[in-house]
Structure 1
Amino acid sequence: MNNSAVLLIPYFNNSEGLLRSLRSIDPDEEIDVIIVDDGSVTDKFDEAVVRSNFKARGIILFEYLKSNKGIETALNSGLKISIEKKYKYIARLDCGDSCLGKRFAVQKAFLEENPEVKIVGSNVLAVDTNGHFLYSINLPLEDRNIKKKMYLNSMLIHPAVMFCSEILDSVSLYPLDHKFAEDYAFFFTISRKYKMANMEEYLTQIEINANGISLKKRKQQVKSRITIIKKHFYFGFYPIYGLLRNYVLLFLPYNLILSIKKIRK
């Protein structure tokens, strides 16, 4: 192991997105990468090409699942490798998303300077598949506000987080019973035990793909969020409002939601 931090990237039939993500990492960053191929068939990557597009100071590890098991299983495979290799910090990125600036160095420094915080995200820019700006995502920065507003939606953007691997001893891995909302469930569990934070800087750019799983399966995702909110429910403003909000989202077309986000940018 060359570094104390590792970047976990799940992969499924998106070699162009993977290479774009790797090229976005600043050459001065000190971070290893674990790429977990979730049973790709139609668009397998070439390891030599992948390595040639990674310019940062670190190594790339590859893990191949024999068949498509879903992102939760792919992520958990990566977490198990991270634990085995004894990485102190684990960061996330999805194929097609990009790092801005020296993201990992900034987040690692934040966690080291604020040891009471065990997971940190950042504000995020959203673009379409052509790289055109859509909207910005500005999140609550402090633990108290993050935890209150988690009942509305995830207040951490999954491909923008870095967390301390030590929390996995008590939080465990990504749950398998909350389809398309495994990150939301994972973060909610973390919120019950540890302090969280977001950085005000825009450290990650995410790609909004109309053909992506999250959008095609949006109703299932919202239903999973509702189940998670009910699991952690108490009688208060945010849990009640969060439930009502997500029930409304079940019936709103995504194009309308996207238009509202663009207006609010």
Structure 2
Amino acid sequence: MIIPVRDGAQYVGEALQSILDQDLADIEAIVIDDGSSDDSAAIVTSLGERDGRVKVVANRGKGIVDALNMGISLAQAPLVARMDCDDVSLPDRLRLQAACFEADPDLHLLGTAGLRIDRDGEPLKPIDVPIGNDQLRDALARYNPMLHPTVMFRTEAVRRVGGYRRAFTYAEDYDLWLRLSETGKLANMDARLVKLRSHPGQVSRVKEEQQKAAAALARQAAQSRRSRAEPFDVNGQPAQAVGAFLAWRAASGVGISSLERRDIELLLRTAGIPLAVTCKLLFLAAVGAPSFRTLALGPRLAWRRMTARPAKMRPN
């Protein structure tokens, strides 16, 4: 079990204890402290002193992607499970997931359904996921159909495809699922085996726009891999990866299809994209997918960029 934590003292003790209380006893719990300034490391270390299955490692604030890859590099078990530092696993979670891998040697990645809880642990609503190979793969082409804190995967399968990649930060899991889908089987269980906590500070709320752009880049990268290498540094900074991809896409001269248009729009919201690249892509979108929505893309982007400018930079 890999649990990254940064300033998660309020919940990390409960999260880790839910792993130590699993009815599958033969586990290792690797907690990556990603530069916490609170008592997160002390809380985890205290639990580790009472249970030798806990390993605490410092990542010095290098970020979620490096923290996750560090955990994978340290894992000795053939199966790795994921959970965030504010979530809670039910006692039979790891046993039930491990049994699925034992029954199917082609299975590379397995998620579960979940239960959304509030900051105090009170239930909010169930979270359903696509079940069945065909339904899951159809969803994967459009959005991330797996709940990251619920997944378990084969350690070697993830190592072979290169682990998590920095260019897709905030959607690093989606990028990994897409690559794993090219090498083996993916599945979801309909059992609700993880309680996922909802609170204002979580990444999906604070970094929503960056997460959408990273997901769009992951989808477009998957398309690129079908015929060529990805045209950007997959372990570079996200904004640089987006810029390099858009510059390559503009230089291709190929019309943008209706299926691509939404991803291109999400990527064009990234700050610092040159005007010439934006104009060329708008032209390719108009040529490839002539529609009212495509023609409205330019004004929508212009409005978003104007409203995103700091107030002191706007004209009176």
1:71 is matched with 64
Which amino acid is 2:14 matched to? R
Structure 1 residue 150 displacement after superposition: 1.0
Whether contact under 8 Å (1:127, 1:134) holds in the other structure is yes
Shift in CA distance, 246/163, structure 1 to aligned 2, threshold 3 Å:
farther
1:225 corresponds to which of 188, 210, 215: 215
> 1:246 deviation in Å?
9.9
Give, in angstroms, the shift of residue 48 of structure 1: 4.5
- Name the aligned partner's letter for residue 19 of structure 1: G
Matches within 5 A, 1:138-177: 138-177=128-167
Given the superposition, is the C-alpha separation of residues 27 and 230 from structure 1 closer, same or farther in structure 2, using an over 3 Å criterion? Answer: closer
Corresponding residue to 2:88 among 98, 105, 117: 98
3-state DSSP class of the match of 1:76? helix
| Partner of residue 50 from structure 1, selected from 47, 52, 55 | 47
| TM-aligned CA deviation for residue 216 of structure 1 | 0.6
Confirm whether residue 32 of structure 1 aligns to residue 28 of structure 2.
Answer: yes
Whether the aligned pair in 1 keeps the contact of 2:174 and 2:215 (CA below 8 Å) is: yes
Residue 252 of structure 2 corresponds to which residue in structure 1?
A: none
TM-score, normalising length from structure 2?
A: 0.68
**Corresponding pairs, count:** 233
CA distance in 1, matches of 2:15, 2:146: 19
CA RMSD of superposed structures (Å): 2.5
User: After superposition, where does 1:116-135 map in structure 2 within 5 Å?
Assistant: 116-135=106-125
Which one of the candidate residues 157, 178, 181 is aligned to 2:171?
A: 181
Aligned partners of 2:50 and 2:105: how far apart in 1?
33
- Residue 194 (structure 1) aligns with: 184
Q: CA deviation at 1:220?
A: 0.5
Deviation by residue 1:172-192 (Cα, 9 ceiling, x = unmatched): 110010121111111111111
Q: Secondary structure at the match of 2:173?
A: helix
Contact persistence 1:152–1:241 (CA under 8 A): no
Contact 2:41–2:56 (Cα < 8 Å) also in 1: no
The secondary structure found in structure 2 opposite 1:36 is strand
The structure whose Rg is larger is 2
Unaligned ranges ≥5, structure 1: 1-6, 252-265
Q: Post-superposition, which runs of at least 4 consecutive aligned residues in structure 1 deviate over 3 A?
A: 239-248
Distance verdict in 2 for CA 1:243–1:193, change over 3 Å? farther
8 A contact 2:5–2:33 mirrored in 1:
yes
Letter in 2 for 1:161: V
Partner residue, 2:8: 14
8 Å Cα contact 1:72-1:174 kept in structure 2 = yes
Question: Counterparts of 2:50 and 2:12 in 1: how far apart (Å)?
Answer: 9
1:240/1:91 CA distance change after superposition, 3 Å: farther
Distance 1:74 1:113, change over 3 A: same
Instruction: Give the match for residue 104 of structure 2.
Output: 114
Contact 2:7 2:37 (8 Å CA) reproduced: yes
Comparing both chains, which one has the higher relative contact order based on Cα–Cα distances under 8 Å and sequence gaps of 6 or more?
1
Relative to 1, partners in 2 of residues 1:8 and 1:61: Cα closer, same or farther, differing over 3 Å?
same
- The CA distance in 2 between the partners of 1:101 and 1:78, in whole Å, is 22
Change (3 A) 1:15 1:141: same
Pick closer, same or farther for the CA change 1:136–1:242 going to 2, 3 Å: farther
C-alpha distance in 1 between matches for 2:92 and 2:218: 33
Maintained 8 Å contact 1:36/1:74? yes
Return the structure number with greater strand share.
1
Greater per-residue helix proportion: 2
Kept in 1, the 8 Å contact 2:9–2:38? The answer is no
Distance 1:21 1:150, change over 3 A: same
Does the CA contact (< 8 Å) of 2:12 and 2:40 recur in 1? no
SS at match of 2:166: coil
**Cα distance, 1:15 vs. partner?**
1.9
Distance 1:169 1:52, change over 3 A: closer
Aligned-pair identity in percent equals 27
What CA deviation, in whole Å up to 9, does each residue of 1:58-85 have, x standing for no partner? Answer: 61111112x3111001001111111xx3
